[in-house]
Amino acid sequence: MKVIKYAILLSLLLGFGCKKEAQQTQEVVEAPLKDYSSLMQVEKGKPVSVMLTSYSTTLIADGKEETRLRVAVTDSLGQEITTAQDSIQIFVTGSGSLKTETGDAFSYGKDSLGNSYAKAKLENGLFNLHFVAGTQPDKVKVEVKSGKLWPGAHEIHTIPAEFVYKTPTQDQLPKTTKPIDRMIG
């Protein structure tokens, strides 16, 4: 008789514990996404460097393929200054060209060494543009400067237009239980 009482008590406790755990799991799933941009952005600060982000660093040299570039000014902690209105100069060394997100033409200038650069100005701390690959395979350097700040740069590789991407067959892929998402780069 005691065994039956203990079995009933144990099953009630386990049942109650499982329901509580299920509720906690459900609460975690329904939690809203948090905005962490405040950790990497500040409204005001002393600018130290220019940050250039390229969303792709390898392009087909067909004169059409392009990648988005993002320019921001950062402080000594690497935080973007969201109120920055700095003028910037964008230098491209190699086969390729620049275009604005809206399709407007850049105005160009020359530095003291005779190098040509595109002129732009940050708005709300950012400037977005596109790099368009040239028609010749190349290692293209995109560098962004602003006054005496540390410059930001990226090397973008353009590969031959006749390059064919190879896709592995299923028997060449290792077995995995986790889905493999598309990689950036």
pLDDT means per 10 residues, the chain with 185 residues, are 68 60 49 70 92 95 95 94 94 94 89 94 94 95 96 96 88 79 71
Q: Are residues 23 and 64 in the same domain?
A: no
Q: Are residues 26 and 42 in the same domain?
A: no
- Which residues 6+ apart lie within 8 Å of 137 measured at CB? 61, 95, 158, 159, 160
* pTM across the whole model: 0.70
- What integer pLDDT is reported at residue 133 of this predicted model? 96
Q: Are residues 117 and 43 in the same domain?
A: yes
Q: Are residues 110 and 27 in the same domain?
A: no
CA neighbor of 156 nearest in space, from 83, 75, 39, 68 = 68
The amino acid sitting at 144 is V
Count Cα neighbours of 67 within 13 Å in the Cβ-side half-sphere. 24
* Number of domains into which the chain is organized: 2
Burial 89-124 (b: 16+ CB within 10 A, else e): bbbbebbbebeeeeeeeeeeeeeeeeeebbebebee
147: tokens are 């006054």
d(CA 54, CA 64): 17
Q: Are residues 80 and 15 in the same domain?
A: no
Q: Are residues 19 and 78 in the same domain?
A: no
End-to-end CA distance of the chain: 68
- Which residues 6+ apart lie within 8 Å of 107 measured at CB? 118, 119
Q: What is the CATH number of the domain that holds 81?
A: 2.60.40.10
CA neighbor of 109 nearest in space, from 119, 100, 99 = 119
State the residue range of the domain holding 98.
38-159
d(CA 69, CA 101): 10
The verdict on residue 93 lying in a domain is yes
- What integer pLDDT is reported at residue 178 of this predicted model? 75
Q: Are residues 27 and 104 in the same domain?
A: no
Q: Are residues 66 and 10 in the same domain?
A: no
- What integer pLDDT is reported at residue 183 of this predicted model? 72
